[in-house]
Amino acid sequence: MKFKLEKDIPIPAKQTRKRPSIYPFNNMEIGESFLVPFNKLKAVRTAIGSYKRRHPDWGYASRTLPEGFRVWRIK
């Protein structure tokens, strides 16, 4: 089998399948927070770590409260 070599063929834009975020990290302003039920604690901690790696300028604080797990944007 022979392949034909071609020049000046533009590379199409990379297409990614982004699934919508479950947590509102992108929409949070400094001082805002959201509450997560205890049964989602591990998932939200994983999501925070992932978001922090992609957005190192983003700062957060989190606390376990009687009603659930609350995440604040602090930076």
- Domain boundaries along the sequence of the chain: 27-73
Per-residue pLDDT of the chain (75 residues; tens, 9 = 90+): 899 999 999 998 888 777 788 999 999 999 999 999 999 999 999 999 999 998 999 999 999 999 999 999 999
pLDDT the model gives residue 67: 95
- 23's CB contacts (< 8 A; 6+ apart) are 34, 36, 44, 47, 51, 71
Beta bridge partners of 69: 36, 64
